[in-house]
Chains A and B, each alone.
Chain A
Amino acid sequence: QKEVEQDPGPLSVPEGAIVSLNCTYSNSAFQYFMWYRQYSRKGPELLMYTYSSGNKEDGRFTAQVDKSSKYISLFIRDSQPSDSATYLCAMSGGYGQNFVFGPGTRLSVLP
């Protein structure tokens, strides 16, 4: 079993839809949680960052962390074709530990 699991699989939604992306993890020591957006053939771009549990909102994006359930989510409101990319969750326990990434969810937003 992988340390970080990510769902759903490849996702296609119509423009304007609300998108929910999720990751579950097994290591209770994780306390730093990130979401990255990666366009094809580009480097991952840091999208959202959350420390410990709670919610964080930035424009159309909301990140949620539930440490008790070992579950994190990214919500995208009013999705746009420009949101079409692969979304990666990542987490870490601290400076001495490396970041652990989920396998990614490929999102397509259809005009």
Chain B
Amino acid sequence: EADIYQTPRYLVIGTGKKITLECSQTMGHDKMYWYQQDPGMELHLIHYSYGVNSTEKGDLSSESTVSRIRTEHFPLTLESARPSHTSQYLCASSTRAGGSTNTQYFGPGTRLTVL
């Protein structure tokens, strides 16, 4: 079972509010990711990080920002939430590829609704 946690699990918030979605993993993985997924739709990579002080934008443009100050922690922030940000946000981490190993594990997700 993957040891990757996300809080809150559900969040309903008004337009214009600043929000931070938390993600932590206890597996010691260097690489972490944020995906956005609308119901019944594909996963879209919005941010990733190779390690502390590393952040990169993913394939899907996002108004959110991320930070990586500690290996185990990769929070995502929206400075001013809008209804278009309503979605499920999934955090993931992966092992370092070595030989035959390179796997990615997901957290349970945060379902965000912006009114």
B109 touching A49 by the CB < 8 A rule? no
Interface residues on A, range: 20 to 34
Compute how far the CA of A1 lies from the CA of B105 in the bound complex, rounded to whole angstroms. 27
Interface window among A21-29, A75-83, A96-104: A96-104
Provided the pairs A34-B104, A104-B42 are in contact, do residues A95 and B88 lie with their beta carbons within 8 angstroms? no
Q: Which of B39, B90, B102 contacts A92 (CB 8 A)?
A: B102
Residue-by-residue, is A43-60 near B (CB-CB < 8 Å gives 1, otherwise 0)? 111100101100000000
Residue-by-residue, is B71-115 near A (CB-CB < 8 Å gives 1, otherwise 0)? 000000000000000001010001011111111111111010000
Residue numbers in B under 8 Å from A98 (CB-CB):
33, 45, 48, 58
A42 touching B109 by the CB < 8 A rule? yes
Q: Which of B39, B90, B102, B103 contacts A43 (CB 8 A)?
A: B90
Q: Does B19 contact A (CB under 8 A)?
A: no
Provided the pairs A41-B109, A95-B97 are in contact, do residues A46 and B2 lie with their beta carbons within 8 angstroms? yes
Residue numbers in A under 8 Å from B96 (CB-CB):
95
Compute how far the CA of A46 lies from the CA of B4 in the bound complex, rounded to whole angstroms. 13
Compute how far the CA of A36 lies from the CA of B96 in the bound complex, rounded to whole angstroms. 19
Which residues of chain B have a CB within 8 Å of any CB of chain A? 2, 6, 31, 33, 39-40, 42-43, 45, 48, 58, 88, 90, 94, 96-109, 111
Nearest 7 CB-CB pairs, A to B? A95-B97, A51-B100, A43-B106, A32-B102, A94-B97, A43-B109, A44-B106
Which residues of chain A have a CB within 8 Å of any CB of chain B? 32, 34, 36, 41-46, 49, 51-52, 88, 90, 92, 94-95, 98-99, 101, 103-104, 106
In the complex, 7 of the A-B residue pairs with CB atoms within 8 angstroms, ordered by the A residue number, are: A43-B107, A46-B105, A95-B98, A98-B33, A99-B104, A103-B42, A106-B40
